[in-house]
Amino acid sequence: MPRKIVIVGANAAGVHAANAARKTDPKAEITLVDREPYPAYSRCGIPYVLAGEIPSFEVLTAFPPTHYRMMKFKLRLETKARSINPDDKIVLIEDKEGNFEALKYESLILATGADPFIIPIGGHNLPGVFAMRTVDDGKGIQEAMKTAKSAVVIGAGFIGLETAHALASNKIETTIVEVVPYILPALFDEDMADYTEEKMKEHGVKAMVGRRVEAIVGKDKAEGVVVGGEEVKADIVVMAAGIRPRTDLIRGLGVELGVTRAIRVNPRMETSVSGIFAAGDCVESQSSITGLPCLYQLGTNAVRQGTTAGINAAGGYAANPRVICSAVSRIFDFELGAVGLSEFQAAKVGFQTISASITGRTRAAYFPGGKEVKVKIIAEPVLGRVMGAQIVGGENVAQRVNMLSVAIQKEMTALELSTADTSYAPPVAETVEPVATAAEIVAKKIRRRR
């Protein structure tokens, strides 16, 4: 009899788990169950559809319908997993007509993802208040943007900034409200965040930091938000205050949750219950720098975890590495990225750090089109091991973040990074790579301490 594999969740982690399982076991019966009406798509692209940089939501589809047929997957959309019986290895599902069906499994992969955090304040359920998570969220915002003149985005992480970019690009007066005293608090230190905020202001986006939204006001729809007793007009309010792992399906099953309240897994993506694997935004990761649990809820991690889970669920062997938490984005005409720990995060877990930042150019100073790039590098102050970095620049930020990710993974010191044999040509790079320059300054600071 062929192995039966059921995957709950058919987005990044789920579909890549299915792909890996099929390659591992060509004869397995693989069923994908997802509550949404759409097959796997890129959530990351939604703000750029709203900004008009991507022509439609349909373009975001990850795999065409032929892929599921070719791979012999059973794709059950608009279908919810209602319960799991781990003793009999059965998942009870319900389709959109209300019909129930019991799916037998030998391996179950939970790729249930995460839900947007909707702040339970007054007016949070008014028309005109949106999350930024699904295609349907995007379509709702797109429709509201046709008549909106003002908007407020609650939360200043990447999703918040990308949403503000989309709204402002449509000539909508946009304000970001962030309860922490600076934007991008999960990725940047205050100095780099302030630099980014100034660049946002150049594009007409106002940031209210260290402030809390107390209520959303309006009669029949959202008309504004109250911040510190002050009302800020808003025809659109977008909740971008983070996401929470979706774990309701496993309550009472004995599946362990970690300290982050996400599902705890081992390197093979196995949960504490035999036969059940998990991957993606619902799963807790481990930092390779601190060794501590963390949440790394990005598509890249979901794909890697899903692939590992799929191989193991199909009878193969794979282990998922610990994470360094690389992240990049583009807002308006500049890019930003971070990898590893910020100084704040390092201090929070008891690490001392030393850092330096420099502002360089992406091309030779005399070559047209060169753009500013600001690089900050954070290192451990005794041996000088690189622990993190933050970059804001006009171009090529992602490749610099990737370079630094490898440096952290290989435990390079700031001195070693400063001597990297980097390339140069006037149209594409300066003679001295800004990352190497920042690392050299950090290395000098460390030498002075000895």
Which active-site residues does the annotation give?
A: 44
Name the residue with tokens 């919810």: 80
Type of residue numbered 31 = T
Residues in the chain: 450
Q: Is 401 helix (H, G, I), strand (E, B) or coil?
A: helix
| Separation CA 193–CA 160 (nearest Å) | 14
| Separation CA 26–CA 63 (nearest Å) | 19
Count other Cβ atoms within 10 Å, centred on residue 156.
29
The b-or-e profile of 125-145 (16+ CB within 10 A means b, else e) is ebebbbbbbbbebbebbeebb
Type of residue numbered 24 = T
DSSP string, 116-181: E-----BTTTSTTEEESSSHHHHHHHHHHHTT-SEEEEE--SHHHHHHHHHHHHTT-EEEEEESSS
Strand bridging mode 90-94 / 80-85: antiparallel
Residue 269 CA from chain centroid, whole number: 19
The two three-digit tokens of residue 424, written as one number? 């140069």
CB 44 within 8 A of CB 148: no
Beta bridge partners of 378: 355, 388
Helix residue ranges, H only, 223-316: 299-313
CB 239 within 8 A of CB 155: yes
Question: Running DSSP on this structure, what letter comes out for residue 323?
Answer: B
Dihedrals phi, psi of 102, to nearest 5 degrees: -100, 120
Own/partner contacts of 264-273, CB < 8 Å, gap of 24 or more, are 264/293, 267/308, 267/319, 267/320, 267/321, 268/308, 268/309, 268/312, 268/317, 268/318, 268/319, 268/320, 269/305, 269/308, 269/309, 269/312, 269/320, 270/312, 271/110, 273/86
Helix residue ranges, H only, 158-239: 158-169, 190-202
Type of residue numbered 168 = A
